[in-house]
Amino acid sequence: MATGRTPAEFTAALRTREQLIGYWSLLDSPVAAERLARLGYDYLAFDAQHGLFGYQGMLNNLLATDTKGSTAVGMVRVEANDLTYIGKALDAGATAVIVPLIDNAQDAADAVAAVRYPPLGRRSYGPMRAQLRIGPNPADTHAQTAVLAMIETADGLANVEAICATDGLDGIYVGPSDLRLAIGGATSTDPSVQEEFEQALTRIRKAAEAAGIAAGIHNADGASAARRLAEGWTYVSIAADVVHLQQIAASHLDAARQEGGESR
């Protein structure tokens, strides 16, 4: 069994652009999270923006991620670029927050401020559960927690270089579905804009590289994640539990029907 990193070690690896692999969770299932956390992933990302859980679910899944045998730290994609949402995720024990819909450098600076305590930022002090693993002193907390800005809008793409240069930002994260729509795709998987989409990804990845910050991207499967790592992305998420549950259940149903048909 692989040995997991502490929050401090994970954040250091992220900031030095080591390659990291995570898994994306939409389901409020701490039992599933506990199992996923033992598989060897570097992080589990819990989606509070589009996922199927509230605050208690987020807290319970973060608790499950930190159980014995875990190799992963917990990340949270927060609901919005909001001081309260970001603070609650961090107080619950998230090692990193992914902040959606970042359009410009000011948005990125606001996200950073929400993660850092005064005088560096605006986070209110009350780490509750987090103090057991992260911090609790502000300087230690700053060293151990990361803030990641999502690049997924037309404005975000247009301003990506300025966003990546934001002081204190640890990395960016691409939401491929929204980005494809933002560049003119008719659907979140529209193949007609594939060339423009790949050009946009290259620009984003190079902007992060130039700024010396982490470059992450969402992926449907492991093969896609491997391809992106080979291109130079530094962390990749494989998504997602609810989709993969449906896929594997359907494959077993197909196999059972096929085998049953052959035996008759």
Just list the catalytic residues.
50
Neighbours of 195 (CB within 10 A): 9
3-state secondary structure of 202: helix
Q: Provide the sign of the torsion angle of the four alpha carbons 190, 196, 201, 202, taken in this order.
A: positive
Q: Provide the CB-side half-sphere exposure for 174 (13 A, CA).
A: 33
Q: How far is CA 134 from CA 73, 131, 151, 202, in A?
A: 11, 5, 27, 34
DSSP state of 170: -
